[in-house]
Structure 1
């Protein structure tokens, strides 16, 4: 909590408001993480019941996004935060938007469990699951980084997105090759291809959240900074 500087406000109520919103973001993140984990499990086991559960639970994530966004708007209007307080509120607003979109992508992934696949096609899902578990760990890591506002952990997540992109490209090539060899498989394999794309997008969302953490801690916008210059840009003092 020291990193958040929540103990420096004259108003103890302001501290409590910021802490409550931050905790709500972590609660929302936990729900999103569970939804993604359940979606991957549903695909791995072809569990249609679990897939339906994922599809039906998205309303909770949507409701939390609206609630937290309203709380942030109220704080801006009532407290008129400045400096690090304003950066924290802005980081939270952007983070919950990305978390909501991760929930949407988890829905798309879960739908694969509702399809029918031949035994040969099911083998293609192994690499999808590997990509999914990698992205799930990335989500966990960025949520932990957000909980501590840990800039080193945020940088590690930011760099991890390159590995996710490479894995996604490999899975895409494999799926495209399979469809060319067996055109009859195209409808079902396209669903797998879109799921792989959803996982790649989740990796991008996690990278976004890592950038919001860096923005809060350092006050630097690194959205268009190359990987090679990332740490130098963060440490650079204007």
Structure 2
């Protein structure tokens, strides 16, 4: 979606640069999340360590984009649509940074050791995680195009994540009942499962920011409006 042109060509360049940097940050977060799931399913501590090391890159990008947004607000004093874009960007990078933190948490779980039976549970965790990665990938694509309809459709994907999340929690609880000695390890796996579920919530937030920018409407508590966009 075209952002609209301004008399100041430099302002156009600044706005486009902001979006480009958000997408670059999003791509890095998506990679981090994917690698953390791979590290978890394969119990690869070296790969998990890489996720930890690269988390600083995500944090640095968030800070740099946030500072750029602050400069634009101070220098350009954007109004209406431009201000909505800057606000949407500020909120989006915050959620992306938290997804990055989630990837780091998953990597921390991956650095622990699990029995063969417990490791079997990690396969189900990865399957849930791949749904979340796909949702993140799609929402970044929708952000690149500022596609409201796509955002409304992607928003609904969280229902699948919630359903699979509940099934997996039930599976973990059943496992602990059968093997009480595994409780500590399975509870650790459960923290990873909850972390993945939160990724879906963060992606929903970004969908809302897209709609806010394009439509100028806050849809956080307006499910009827979201449905009307489908």
Report the TM range for the smaller structure's normalisation.
over 0.9
Separation (CA, whole Å) in 1 of partners of 2:32 and 2:23 = 14
Alignment correspondent of 2:227: 231
Residue aligned with 1:57, SS = helix
- C-alpha offsets along residues 146-198 of structure 1, whole Å, 9 cap, x if unaligned? 01111111111111111111111111111111112211101111111000000
Separation (CA, whole Å) in 2 of partners of 1:67 and 1:112 = 29
- More moved, 105-114 vs 141-150: 105-114
State the 1:229 CA deviation.
Answer: 5.0
Gaps of at least 5 residues in structure 1 are none
Instruction: Check the 8 A contact 2:219/2:225 in 1, yes or no.
Output: no
State the 1:93 CA deviation.
Answer: 0.2
In the alignment, structure 1 residue 106 sits paired with structure 2 residue 73: no
Separation (CA, whole Å) in 2 of partners of 1:190 and 1:153 = 36
Alignment correspondent of 2:141: 144
- C-alpha offsets along residues 8-34 of structure 1, whole Å, 9 cap, x if unaligned? 200000000101111110110011011
* TM-score, L = length of structure 2: 0.97
Write out aligned runs for 1:168-207 (5 A). 168-207=165-204
- C-alpha offsets along residues 103-142 of structure 1, whole Å, 9 cap, x if unaligned? 0000111122212111111111121111000000000000
Aligned with residue 91 of structure 2, among 89, 94, 113: 94
Aligned with residue 132 of structure 1, among 129, 134, 145: 129
Alignment correspondent of 2:49: 52
Gaps of at least 5 residues in structure 2 are none
- C-alpha offsets along residues 38-69 of structure 1, whole Å, 9 cap, x if unaligned? 10111121111000000111111111111100
Separation (CA, whole Å) in 2 of partners of 1:216 and 1:204 = 19
Alignment correspondent of 1:19: 16
Alignment correspondent of 1:122: 119
Aligned with residue 79 of structure 1, among 76, 100, 112: 76
Aligned with residue 222 of structure 1, among 199, 219, 223: 219
Separation (CA, whole Å) in 2 of partners of 1:174 and 1:94 = 35
Separation (CA, whole Å) in 1 of partners of 2:7 and 2:119 = 60
In the alignment, structure 1 residue 162 sits paired with structure 2 residue 194: no
Separation (CA, whole Å) in 2 of partners of 1:124 and 1:36 = 18
Residue aligned with 2:156, SS = helix
- C-alpha offsets along residues 67-94 of structure 1, whole Å, 9 cap, x if unaligned? 1001001101111111110110000000
* TM-score, L = length of structure 1: 0.94
Aligned with residue 34 of structure 1, among 31, 34, 37: 31
